[in-house]
Structure 1
Amino acid sequence: MFVVTMTQRSVDPGEQRVSDFHQDLKQRLGGELPASRSSDPLTYRQVFSTASPAVEIALYAMRLGTWNVGIGVGSATEQDDELVGSGVRAADLAVSLAAKQGQLVSLRIEAAKPPRGVEQTQLGQHAQSVLQLLGHVVSRRSAAEWAVLDRLDPGIRGQQRRVAQELGMTVQAVSQAIKRSLYNTEHEVRSAVILLLEQAEAAVNIQSNSGM
């Protein structure tokens, strides 16, 4: 499982920010998304069986620049209306590291157990490094670039003319915004992050099942 735990980067955190973020995520991810799984009303937490939505949440949080993000790879079960398990503990550790001062990108990934034959959760660390790099790219985009990118569907060709008409821009300007923002590269690299996270989860599951 992939547990995402997030804390607010604010001297005055509020419950409304958690609620607003959740509503934004429901629109971005589509489908049903349960309310935050954290007992702390100022913290946001979700758990997923696949890595893709965890990556989507992390990058959206980096875009906003107002959250510390921790992703934990491990088990997560509900007990007395609260999530417990190795993945939850890993996510809590990750977000505490992400919240330390001086972080260029406030995002960390922790695997519950070191995968066999891999030094100190190396797969999770590789995923973290790549996702941090993507998070930095996302956080540097301008509002004008986001106006273009938010109108695109990844992997679909021939959208630039439509977007140009909607925004009153030239097709060339739209194309330049896409290239400048590294939009296509971002979505290609996301696949690498997802693969690394899924490999880390598989390694954790193997060790858990073997009793290590």
Structure 2
Amino acid sequence: MWALTIDQIDSRRVGDRVEPFLARVHRRLDDLGAGMHVVRAFERTVGDEVQGLLSDAALVVDLALDVVRHGGWSVGIGAGEVDEPLPSSTRAATGSALLLARDSVEAAKRRSRPVPLAVRGVDEAAAADAEGVLVLLAATAGRRSVAGWAVVDAVRATPGLRQEEVAERLGITQQAVSQRLRTALWHEEQAARPAAARLLALAAAPPTTGRRVL
């Protein structure tokens, strides 16, 4: 299982934004149809920090990258176990995933980090690899232009939509859609996301002697 602890950056200057942030997270999860994988809903835990429990690694990848994209928050991912029976509230949950999420969000808040995201797991090596892939994906997405994001969001919103249809919706040419997707490294991101999810899954399990992560 994965615990995400997400802490607001510079809240003293910009004010508490937890409630609108939680609303956006819940909308994102609803848009993804993620209900069955939300073990415990995201909620405010203390101060300007929120936390939730997820059971799907691909969903963790999507949500973490979406939070980093919009800025203003440090993301800590803890990959491990949650003690049972599960309490009704995320705040009351205990287990290695929660402890690791606390360690990871503290690491994510360090100013020396180019991307405010960190991963800690039961398998430390797999967690470090997962963090490396996620940070690379986030940094790549962070270089996208507004025009690039417009095309990416249109493609993501309707899977299977042809580039000609995307072009018509955005009022640009099909060639422009293709060029913007290439510049945004959209296809490369889609190819790398499953690797990040697989590494997160490995990070949540105790390391096995002789196991290799390729």
* Partner of residue 23, structure 1: 26
Change (3 A) 1:141 1:50: same
- 2:8 equivalent to 1:8: yes
Quick one: which amino acid aligns to residue 172 of structure 1? Q
1:4-83 matches, within 5 Å, as 4-11=4-11, 12-32=15-35, 33=38, 35-40=41-46, 42-77=48-83, 78-79=86-87, 81=89, 82-83=92-93
RMSD, aligned CA:
2.4
Change (3 A) 1:35 1:198: closer
Q: 1:95 aligns with which of 101, 105, 115?
A: 105
* Partner of residue 84, structure 1: 94
Does the CA contact (< 8 Å) of 1:65 and 1:139 recur in 2?
A: no
Distance in 2 (CA, whole Å) between partners of 1:80 and 1:163 is 42
Change (3 A) 1:131 1:31: closer
| Secondary structure class of the residue paired with 2:42 | coil
Distance in 2 (CA, whole Å) between partners of 1:200 and 1:106 is 19
Distance in 1 (CA, whole Å) between partners of 2:20 and 2:161 is 36
1:155-170 matches, within 5 Å, as 159-170=162-173
| Secondary structure class of the residue paired with 2:144 | coil
Quick one: which amino acid aligns to residue 6 of structure 1? I
Distance in 2 (CA, whole Å) between partners of 1:85 and 1:38 is 18
- TM superposition shift of 1:145: 1.2
Distance in 2 (CA, whole Å) between partners of 1:24 and 1:42 is 19
Distance in 2 (CA, whole Å) between partners of 1:153 and 1:70 is 25
Matched-pair identity in %: 29
Count of residues paired in the alignment: 199
Quick one: which amino acid aligns to residue 74 of structure 1? G
- Superposed CA offset, 1:107-145 (max 9, x none): 000013xx4xxxxx1111011111100011112222211
- TM superposition shift of 1:24: 3.3
Does the CA contact (< 8 Å) of 2:104 and 2:120 recur in 1?
A: yes
Distance in 2 (CA, whole Å) between partners of 1:35 and 1:46 is 5
* Partner of residue 212, structure 2: none
My pick for the range that moved more, 8-17 or 194-203, is: 8-17
- Superposed CA offset, 1:14-67 (max 9, x none): 332333332332344224355314522622222122211110111101211211
Does the CA contact (< 8 Å) of 1:62 and 1:136 recur in 2?
A: no
- 2:208 equivalent to 1:200: no
Q: TM-score, normalised by structure 2?
A: 0.83
| Secondary structure class of the residue paired with 1:56 | helix
| Secondary structure class of the residue paired with 2:46 | coil
- 2:152 equivalent to 1:146: no
